[in-house]
Amino acid sequence: MKRFFRNHIIILSFIIVLLLLFFLYGTDRVSAVDRNTYKSLKTFNEVLDMVEKNYVEEVKLQDLIQGAISGMMKSLDPHSTFMTAEEYKELEVETKGSFGGIGIEITLLKDVLTVVSPIEDTPAFQAGIKPGDQIIKIDGKSTKDITIQEAVKKLRGPKDTKVTITIYRESLQKPKDFVLTRAIIKITSVKSRLMDDGIGYCRIASFQERTGDDLKKAVKEMDAKANHLKGIVLDLRNNPGGLLNQSIEVSDVFLKSGMIVSTRGRIKAMDTSSSAKNDGDEPTCPIVVLINEGSASASEIVAGALQDNGRALILGTRSFGKGSVQTLILLEDGAALKLTTAKYYTPSGRSIQAEGIAPDITLKYAKAAEETAEGDESLREQDLKGHIKSAKENGQKPPEETAVPPKKEAEEAAFVQDNQIKAAADILRSWHIFMKGKKN
């Protein structure tokens, strides 16, 4: 009898949570749940009771409920997920820009754990892990049916400990093991340097808590050193995104006025818009923004805002195409729901969901062009199982094992040889001639 009441109290609490979510996020008016909903919840209750009483081994009711919630989220889209209290703490750590691990952004592509992009200056990046690599094993154990949260937990760990990931890549004859030594991953959000002829270069690796402030500081320092910048190359390639408010702040660094981004959801509470404000210190020099298939979410917002406002020229390849908004809903026990509640729209009203930002000048990275000579096999939002469809849908090899130059020399060589950066700088040096040619 005690078990009966305990079970049903838990079920009742679960139903109450569902109803609260429905009332808070599903409608602006309190309305009764229809009979079909009650019938479905009754069926759920019956199945849960049967599993707990009759399953071959004893199972914890809480585990079953969490599994049910996770399954519900999985039926929606790749970005909606349920996080336990522990998993939510991991997310908080990541957005602050310092955590222990190997340094990769991952997703599930056709139910296979796949690398979106390695993070610069991390063990994974230095080992030659590439976008699109499939992680089929972690420490010898298959990743079949693994969740993103489970994978993150396995890949992260104390500094100097090792983890082995087995990678499948089309260019490899067979899967290859990479033994990586975990490190404290401190992501430097903004890197900058002054190039020849007064051209400033800013690289944003991800959007974290201080990205906007760090970018503004970098631009001011370069402008003072150059005695007025002649142009800026803003590098957003392989930037997986991050905090929405920081993408707005970054856009505002370059815009005196105009819309930056708007969001639209099923309910009015999700409809928002953000516009630039004139701080009086915005740079007036021309800007070229670099994007590629690894530029997602917040980086696409910045590219779209600068493109639609006529403030920057976009160069590179079509971006990832993640145009959905996730809202974090904290639960009482410290767990959280990351729920897709709206879509992003650029100032001109374009949705980038599964479409991405199309560059004004299409130019592939030189090495990438060689490696994908038979076609563009890059991972994008539209490849993810269960992604929110677009309107249209609805109607590099690993480094050779040779002597490696010191880190700074290697970075400098890569920078100088980067054809996209070189093209952007050349455009800025001859901006007036270039723009005259476009008008003609």
| The one catalytic residue among 308, 338, 383, 390 | 308
The predicted-structure confidence for 142-186, as pLDDT tens digits, reads as follows 999 888 878 988 999 889 999 999 999 988 999 999 999 999 988
pLDDT at 401: 39
Q: What is the mean pLDDT of residues 27-37?
A: 58
- Arithmetic mean of pLDDT, 20-48: 67
DSSP state of 351: B
Of residues 307 and 209, more confidently modeled: 307
- Residue 268's pLDDT is 92
- Residue 377 is predicted with a pLDDT of 56
pLDDT band at residue 11 under the 50/70/90 scheme: low
Q: Helix, strand, coil % (nearest 5) of the chain?
A: 40, 25, 40
**Cα 109 vs. chain centroid, distance in angstroms?**
14
Looking at residue 289, its pLDDT comes to 98
Per-residue confidence (pLDDT) for residue 369, from 0 to 100: 45
Catalytic residue among 206, 295, 297, 324: 297
CA angle, corner 299, sides to 293 and 303, nearest 5?
Answer: 90
Evaluate if residue 440 carries a pLDDT over 70: no
What's the pLDDT at 145? 86
pTM of the model as a whole:
0.79
Of 322, 324, 338, 383, catalytic: 322
245-264: average pLDDT: 97
Closest by CA to 325, choosing from 290, 357, 301, 350, is: 301
Residue 322 appears among annotated catalytic residues:
yes
Which domains does the chain possess? 2-75 (no CATH), 98-186 (2.30.42.10), 190-367+402-439 (3.90.226.10)
Between CA 222 and CA 211 the distance in angstroms is 16
Whether residue 94 has pLDDT greater than 70: no
Identity of the highest mean pLDDT range in 231-235, 241-245, 320-324: 231-235
Cβ contacts of 80 within 8 Å, gap of 6 or more: 73, 326, 337, 338, 339, 340
pLDDT digits (tens, 9 = 90+) for 308-355: 999 999 999 999 899 999 888 999 889 999 999 999 999 999 999 999
pLDDT at 149: 79
> Binning pLDDT at 50, 70 and 90, where does residue 111 land?
confident
Active site residue 436: no
- DSSP-assigned letter for residue 283: -
Q: Tell me the average pLDDT across 41-66.
A: 92
Burial of 49 (0-12, 13-18, 19+ CB in 10 A): middle
pLDDT digits (tens, 9 = 90+) for 420-430: 999 999 999 99
Structure tokens at 128: 């030659």
Tell me the percentage of the chain whose pLDDT exceeds 90. 55
pLDDT of residue 5 exceeding 60: no
Active-site residue flag, 271: no
Long-range contacts of 391-396 (CB under 8 A, 24+ apart): 391/351, 391/355, 392/355, 393/354, 396/130, 396/365, 396/367, 396/368, 396/371
- pLDDT greater than 70 at residue 134: yes
The confidence band for 384, taking pLDDT boundaries of 50, 70 and 90, is confident
